[in-house]
Amino acid sequence: MRIFKVQGMSCGHCVRAITQALQARDPQARVQVDLGAGEVRVEGGLADAAVLEAIREEGYQAEVA
């Protein structure tokens, strides 16, 4: 499982938007969002660059933790 630091997440909508964006690219991806820590954990076949791109397309700043 890889961890990404994501800025700007604050609510359930943020969780759904990021989860759906990642699962649209990899339907088998397991996504866990920790709003308090500002982290997204991803397990699946997506490369780090693809994960970052999907999160950034939703309007969030993201980097590999």
pTM, full prediction: 0.94
What pLDDT is recorded for position 18?
Answer: 98
What pLDDT is recorded for position 54?
Answer: 98
Residue owning tokens 């499982």: 1
Q: Which domains does the chain have, with CATH numbers?
A: 2-64 (3.30.70.100)
β-bridge partners, 36: none
Tokens of 5: 């630091």
Q: CA 57 to CA 33: how far, in whole Å?
A: 17
15-43 confidence digits (pLDDT tens): 999 999 999 999 999 999 999 999 999 99
Confidence of residue 55 (pLDDT cuts 50, 70, 90): very high
| Residue in 52, 49, 48, 32 with CA at minimum distance from that of residue 40 | 32
Residues in the chain: 65
